[in-house]
Structure 1
Amino acid sequence: MPSRACIAPWPQPTPNGQRRPIGTSSAPSRSPPTSARWRRPLAARGSHADQHPGAADRPTGASANIGVAPPVSIVVPARDEEAMLPAALASVLAQNYEGEIEIVIADGSHGPGMAEAVRSRFPQARLIANPDGGIAAGLNRAVAAATHDILVRCDARCILPPNYVRRAVATLERTGAACVGGLQRPVGICPFTRAVAMAMTAPLGAGGARYRTGGPEGPTDTVFLGVWRRVTLEAIGGFDTTLLRNEDYELAWRLRERGGTVWLDPAITVDYRPRESLAALVAQYFEYGRWKAVMLRRHPRSLRTRQLAAPALVLGLAGSAALAAVGIAQVAAMLPVVWLAALSVSMVVEGWRRRDPAALLMLPALAAMHLAWGAGFWCSWPVRGRRRTVA
């Protein structure tokens, strides 16, 4: 069980019926209840650039010309996250965006705890039922229930910086991209989650993904979270609900296949809270590997070399075990020794760089991430998710 320090939430500043499904023709817009719409008071927004750090991030284009920021809908898929979701919602309410913000939460929880927490503390948010419980299904339902044309994803374990919406909308309008997003910054609050955060950003844990490693602004394969226009999501049929994980990468792939651009803006950075126990981390990465393999079978041209590293490691370690079983011990030990040495070096380097003794827990965290991802990849072959037809 994770320690109380790991599960403590970060400091904090009636489901509606469904509307049309994603991908169908537009239906007449219905305004949500007043409590579901939120806008910063005019006095709080101010009117001078010096009151808004990063004022250059304001939206450009038609909306800027008339001096009105376009309204946005924040869509949040969540399940049994009553401990984490309040901090995410508080960060949404702390946005310094000048336009209207709507919050729609797709609740796939097994019990009423999360919904009760939202209703009691965040009456501005609107809850809709997500009986499937899946992330992709929840996102599609939240998008269908949302009112506005610009859609901003926020996950329950994320903390948005105050200028997130403002910067993301500005980048969306400036670039004309199909999807805009930024960097994930894992942040731990206890020794284990700090170790996982270090592992996720170390070269051996980041896996070369630009939304973790950073880099120049521009086109990329995928981003963390995402911001889209409604018409973009509807044109490709929304998220693939047959994928329980990897729905974001798969959506980005289809967008790029249709000629759209997925745009990384490294000035957009979101704090992410890692899993609080080794068992939860293993389960998370097993599902990542499992559903990545399913997605790759459907879209084989989306494969990146880095995605084969963990499966190759697991296959190699299995081979080492077979060699050890027949008495070829010296050869069998080569790969495990090299792998553990690489993990140890990464642990020492990150611990020295960050001056954090929690780095001592990096080795089991990295090992769990590698082995679980690779094992999930190979165990995915019996998985036969229904292939859906997309536009």
Structure 2
Amino acid sequence: MTFPDSPAPGVSYVMPVLNEEREIRAAVESLVDQDYEGPFEVLLALGPSVDGTNEVVAAMSAADPRIRTLPNPVGSTPAGLNVAIRASVHPITVRVDAHSVLPRDYTRLAVDALRRSGADNVGGIMLAEGRTPFEKAVARAYGSRVGLGGTPHHVGGAEGPTETAYLGVFLRHRLLEVGLFDEGVKRGQDWELNRRLRATGGTVWFTPDLVVTYRPRPSLRTLARQFVATGLWRGELARRFPKANTLRYLVPPAMVVGVALGVLAGLVGLVGALTGTAAAWALLGLVVPGLYVAFVVLAAVLVARGDGLRTRLWFLVVLPSIHFGWGLGFVAGFLDLTGNITAHTGR
């Protein structure tokens, strides 16, 4: 874990890009505008976008030679990251996302954290910020313990070693040593890579000094697709690496199974009540979905109480969408119900 012998070593920003016409300009401009004193390059791995993304990127690249574009015909996130990392020339790799906007001091603080911690990878907080009432509800869920489980990169915490990191600022040679991102893992590839870094004696480091603005998905359909796909891969990874499972990963699928069984029992009990049989006791199963509904309402009151009415109403929809999308996906991925998982998750 040798750190480059330079006060400001060169950094390479690597970003996979696919159908990001709405967000790509702000994301790239936040990289070019960093207050870091060392040399840098911006490497954009372009997937087969069907919107105006590539035209926006072409204009930025023509205006600034430090912005380079690379083809990523596969279109997946890990494939794009690997294409960019292999083409990079600097010893520090900064993994960025088209939905993220870096604060001006991000690179400087991250490189300082890499140097003093001796870590292979440093990451911080994903601060979700929405612009519409729906996006604000998603952002509120992201940043609360009731939404995504309260991991440090969502809600903050003390600086120190961690299991995984949001985005990540890496020593490039360590990425090469462990074989880069696994292109067979379409979601959760950050966790899987960090697992290999730690397994080979490296350290993954969390610091709350790094705060990255993240733009949530703009619609319920895209949000649901995101979390089903994320859950599928989390379930797949849980099956591959059972020793790495924690209670946090198991709560959403347990909730989904519990609510489903409760509803099923309630239907049996309803039939029993209508026919006058002993099966009417099964109506007690409705207690489980009832408790979940009460939990969602209470969460909306407590977590989203400072938001506008439309955001609070959207929160009532967003929170179950995240829980059930992730939970159903996890069950399907863990039990391998989808067969070839890569065919069902796309990017």
Q: Does 1:143 align with 2:82?
A: no
The whole-number CA distance in structure 2 between the counterparts of 1:319 and 1:231 is 49
Is the Cα–Cα contact under 8 Å of residues 314 and 375 in structure 1 kept in the other structure? Answer: yes
Shift of 1:112: 6.8
Q: Secondary structure at the match of 1:116?
A: helix
CA 1:61–1:280: 2 relative to 1, 3 Å: closer
Partner of 1:255: 197
TM-score, normalised via structure 2 length: 0.89
* Distance apart, 1:232 and its partner CA: 0.5
Shift of 1:321: 2.3
Instruction: Give the 3-state SS of the residue equivalent to 1:290 in structure 2.
Output: helix
Q: 1:351 aligns with which of 304, 317, 333?
A: 304
1:92 maps to: 31
1:294 equivalent among 236, 252, 259: 236
Report if aligned partners of 2:128, 2:139 keep a CA contact under 8 Å in 1. Answer: yes
Which deviations, in whole Å up to 9, do the C-alpha atoms of 1:215-244 show, x marking residues without a partner? 110001111100111110111101011111
Alignment correspondent of 1:162: 104
Q: 1:329 to 1:191 in 2, by over 3 A?
A: farther
RMSD over aligned Cα, in angstroms?
Answer: 1.6
Match runs of 1:8-19 below 5 Å: none
The alignment partner of 1:74 has SS state of strand
Alignment correspondent of 1:80: 19
Which residue of structure 2 aligns with residue 174 of structure 1? 116
Q: How many residues align?
A: 322
Aligned to 1:114: 53
Residue 355 of structure 1 deviates from its aligned partner by 4.1
Q: Where is the helix percentage greater, Structure 1 or Structure 2? A: 2
The match for 2:95 is 153
Structure 1 residue 308 corresponds to structure 2 residue 250: yes
State the alpha-carbon separation in 1 of the partners of residues 49 and 109 from structure 2.
Answer: 35
The residue aligned with 2:172 is 230
SS in 2 for 1:77: strand
1:366 to 319, 337, 340: 319
- Secondary structure of 2:6's partner? helix
TM-score under structure 1 normalisation?
Answer: 0.79
Return the alpha-carbon distance in structure 1 between the equivalents of residues 312 and 165 of structure 2.
27
Deviation at 1:385, TM superposition (A): 5.9
Structure 1 SS opposite 2:213: strand
- Find the partner of 1:210 among 130, 152, 158: 152
Gaps of 5+ in 2: 270-280, 343-347
Question: Which amino acid is the alignment partner of residue 289 of structure 2?
Answer: P
d(CA) in 1 for partners of 2:39, 2:341? 38
Question: What is the alpha-carbon distance in structure 2 between the residues aligned to residue 234 and residue 384 of structure 1?
Answer: 28
